[in-house]
Amino acid sequence: MANELAAYSELRARLKRVHVLGSVGGLLGWDEQVNLPPAAAAQRGEQMALVAELVHAEATAPALGAALAACEAAPAGALDEEASVVVAAARRDFDRATKLPAELVSEKARLSSEAYHAWAAARAARDFAAFAPYLEKHLALARREAELLGYGERPYDLAIDRHDPGLTAARIDTLFTELRAGLVPLVRRIDARAEAARARGEAPLALKGFDIAAQRELVRRVTERIGFDYGRGRLDVSLHPFCEGSGDDLRLTTRFDADNPLDALYSSIHEAGHGMYEQGLPREHAGTALAQAAGMAAHESQSRLWENQVARSRAFWRWLGPELRAAFPGPLAGVSEEQLHAAANAVEPGGMIRVDADEVHYNLHILLRFDLEKRLFAGALRVAELPAAWDALCEELFGRRPAHAGEGVLQDVHWSGGAFGYFPSYTLGNMMAAQLWAAARARLAGIEENFSRGEFGRLLGWLRAEVHARGRREDAFALTRRVTGEDLGAKALLAYLEERYG
Ligand code: ZN
């Protein structure tokens, strides 16, 4: 028994080293996007590559493998439930890390760096053919990875499982088919109404001249109020908002636009949702699965729940409206609370860009990408045919086509980094968020009145207990089932969108 326990302590110490080194790399990445002098990109690249190499060496260390094997060889009952979770997840991660040859890992890193620049130039020139060879190479690498690591039914399953353990293309297919059947007619109805309003000459609210320092202060106040702990985190500015870090050091970023204060506000609330999830993971278990998120869909469910279900609600705006007015008396003179709430919930028919999409249209963008990735991996679609397939699917889903490849097939950065299988997490996160929200509303009586008074602790406490404290014990399906009593599905998201926008 003592031996097994010693092996378990050794395993935890080894996992902690991987985690701590990884967090150094994360911090370098954060700094690159927030603070880096223009000439320092190559130097930072060297630092990050070396740290990545060290992380890989720690993650594949024979001593880690030996401790893991000793834990697995322990007699039944020697490890408790928590330890069993840690050992099972460590095995999965260790096998993933050791089965990939270092040569393939560095080839992917090199290709991603070249492909990123090629993608940026191709997007600006609206020239898909210039990017196509890089996409071919990434697909070939992804297939090789799947061969080396093994996969479920199809190579695409590995790409998905990487971001969301336990998920497969077949399971997503079932969920997305259900979503599409309800979403497309709903979007058509909402689009028609928005276009009729536009035809009547109703223009969206124009917001102008919102002082950046005042925006920064408001964003901080709001994110702190919903529960982000600034004693263990901070907020900075970057080109694209993101959240980085873990434990006691969470870094949120946003961007400010004097003529669009809602952009900084909602992107910050979104990133704070990710940050609060990380802050709620039990830090005494850092480095183990007990202190890791359940997957990207679960992560996205936390950011979306705060951003959409909470912060776009009427109840939230009863609290936020006066806060906003106090921060910006000048620019908001003559603007009613009703207009502000409507601006926060505006839908934009015909938008072809995913990152600018409202929450109604957003999921159509994901259905499109999932369908194309699936066909690419299956060999049913060739890279050269991708732009035509993209445009045709846009026509089916949105009722219109992008004007050029820059607002079509070339718009997202993901494929330049070989990040296949990531897109579905966004919509699965939306589904989970809607289901968690329905469960929270049913169990926490009067929760919306809390929001009206700027009180969010009850909701956060519930999420802490039901989701955050559980770490990576369950996949998205098991988590949703346990918390809500229902299987992960499209019903709650469709009902939520119908209620708010229908
Ligand atoms: Zn997110």
Report the pLDDT averaged over residues 318-334: 95
- The dihedral over CA atoms of 492, 498, 501, 502, expressed in degrees to the nearest 10, equals 170
Backbone angles phi, psi at 234, to 5 degrees: -150, 170
- Give tens-digit pLDDT for 59-110: 999 999 999 999 999 998 899 999 999 999 999 999 999 998 888 888 888 8
User: Ligand 1 center to residue 295 CA distance, Å?
Assistant: 12
User: Ligand 1 center to residue 414 CA distance, Å?
Assistant: 14
User: Ligand 1 center to residue 335 CA distance, Å?
Assistant: 30
User: Ligand 1 center to residue 457 CA distance, Å?
Assistant: 21
Q: Single out the residue of 364, 370, 337 nearest to residue 352, CA to CA.
A: 364
CA distances from 268 to 303, 326, 414 (A): 10, 19, 21
Q: Single out the residue of 295, 436, 312 nearest to residue 362, CA to CA.
A: 312
Pairing relationship of beta strands 249-254 and 243-246 according to DSSP bridges: antiparallel
Say what the pLDDT of residue 4 is.
58
What residue type is assigned to position 189 of the chain?
R
Beta bridge partners of 251: 234, 244
Using a CB cutoff of 5 Å, list residues around ligand 1, an ion: 303
Taking the model in full, what pTM does it have? 0.94
Say what the pLDDT of residue 204 is.
82
DSSP string for 265-292: HHHHHHHHHHHHHHHHS-GGGTTSGGGS
User: Ligand 1 center to residue 299 CA distance, Å?
Assistant: 7
User: Ligand 1 center to residue 200 CA distance, Å?
Assistant: 36
- Give tens-digit pLDDT for 3-42: 558 999 999 999 999 999 999 999 999 999 899 998 998 8
Average pLDDT along the chain: 94
User: Ligand 1 center to residue 287 CA distance, Å?
Assistant: 22
**Percent of the chain, pLDDT > 70?**
99
The Cα 115–Cα 102 span in angstroms is 20
Segment among 115-129, 192-206, 244-258 with least mean pLDDT: 192-206
| Tokens coding 314 | 């009427």
Of the candidates 58, 145, 244, 271, the residue annotated as catalytic is 271
| Tokens coding 205 | 């609210």
- Give tens-digit pLDDT for 254-269: 999 999 999 999 999 9
User: Ligand 1 center to residue 272 CA distance, Å?
Assistant: 9
User: Ligand 1 center to residue 438 CA distance, Å?
Assistant: 20
Question: What are the structural domain ranges in the chain?
Answer: 2-153
DSSP code for 306? I
Q: Would you put residue 227 in left (φ > 0), alpha (ψ -120 to 50) or beta?
A: left
Report the pLDDT averaged over residues 452-477: 97
pLDDT value at 169 more than 90 = yes
- Give tens-digit pLDDT for 329-341: 999 999 998 999 9
- Asked if 168 and 153 touch (Cβ cutoff 8 Å), the reply is yes
The Cα 451–Cα 446 span in angstroms is 9
User: Ligand 1 center to residue 302 CA distance, Å?
Assistant: 8
3-state secondary structure of 151: coil
The Cα 311–Cα 304 span in angstroms is 9
User: Ligand 1 center to residue 300 CA distance, Å?
Assistant: 5
Q: Single out the residue of 308, 304, 229, 249 nearest to residue 274, CA to CA.
A: 304
pLDDT value at 459 more than 50 = yes
Backbone angles phi, psi at 243, to 5 degrees: -130, 130
Q: Single out the residue of 340, 369, 374 nearest to residue 352, CA to CA.
A: 369
User: Ligand 1 center to residue 274 CA distance, Å?
Assistant: 7
- Asked if 135 and 415 touch (Cβ cutoff 8 Å), the reply is yes
pLDDT category at 145 given cuts 50, 70, 90 is very high
Report the pLDDT averaged over residues 454-463: 98
Report the pLDDT averaged over residues 453-480: 97
Report the pLDDT averaged over residues 469-482: 96
Say what the pLDDT of residue 49 is.
85
The Cα 191–Cα 207 span in angstroms is 23
- Asked if 316 and 307 touch (Cβ cutoff 8 Å), the reply is no
Report the pLDDT averaged over residues 143-149: 93
- Give tens-digit pLDDT for 179-199: 999 999 999 999 999 889 889
Segment among 114-118, 425-429, 490-494 with least mean pLDDT: 114-118
pLDDT category at 2 given cuts 50, 70, 90 is very low
Report the pLDDT averaged over residues 123-129: 97
pLDDT category at 1 given cuts 50, 70, 90 is very low
| Tokens coding 435 | 């289901």
Report the pLDDT averaged over residues 219-227: 98
- Asked if 250 and 231 touch (Cβ cutoff 8 Å), the reply is no
User: Ligand 1 center to residue 309 CA distance, Å?
Assistant: 14
Please say if 337 is a catalytic residue. no
DSSP code for 205? P
Say what the pLDDT of residue 351 is.
87
The Cα 367–Cα 179 span in angstroms is 9
